[in-house]
Amino acid sequence: MSRRFLIGLTGGIGSGKTEALRRFSALGASTISLDEIAHEQARPGGAAFLKIVRAFGRRILDDAGRIDRKKVGEKIFSNSNFRKRLERLTHPLILKEMLRKMRLSSGIVVVDVPLLFEGNHEKHFDATLAVLAPFSERLRRVLKRDRLSNLEIKKRMSSQILDEQRMRRADVVIHNDGSLKAFRQNVAQYYQAFCLINQEQR
């Protein structure tokens, strides 16, 4: 079996990280999504559920007793102290699970880490990859995807670093400013390149 080649994938809200991850997976890569880990841990019985409810109160629960992500989102993106508090509670747990999953994986492993550079997590990866897209395009995509207002999306974007910094810090940059088809083709080319690098390192 080939050795493990770990890629940290990042990008701003609506840049196309999930699309890229899906494509890498379809091509044969192992993929890990920190968003997915966060969702699992925030479910009733999950590692973060009680911590979140204790910190923010039962008002963030829906009628079925699950954490209402919309309510939490509104709270944390309108008050940066709440956001930092939630991050302090959940990030160590998410990171621990990410590392556990990474240890169990092999071959080309792509990990979607939205706050890769904000959290200085580069050290966990062999290479970092940033997906970049113009602000207006990202806004348009997220407006279409989520039931959030223009203002809400901008608030969420303002908690992240700018593409300029991502471009400076990433080993590889993929621009997602054209069609989905073109983006997927680009991802496939990088996948081939990662496979070659991984083979050469055996």
> Can you give the binding site for ligand ATP, defined by CB under 6 A?
11, 13-19, 114, 141-142, 145, 176, 179-180, 183
Nearer to ligand ATP, 18 or 198 (CB): 18
Residue with tokens 């670093």: 161
To 10 degrees, what angle do helices 180-200 and 17-27 make? 50
**CA distance linking residue 58 with residue 119, whole number of Å:** 29
CB of 202 to ligand ATP, least distance (A): 32
**CA distance linking residue 188 with residue 96, whole number of Å:** 29
CB of 184 to ligand ATP, least distance (A): 9
CB of 73 to ligand ATP, least distance (A): 11
CB of 139 to ligand ATP, least distance (A): 11
Nearer to ligand ATP, 128 or 176 (CB): 176
Nearer to ligand ATP, 183 or 190 (CB): 183
Q: Which two tokens stand for residue 85?
A: 């508090």
**CA distance linking residue 16 with residue 22, whole number of Å:** 10
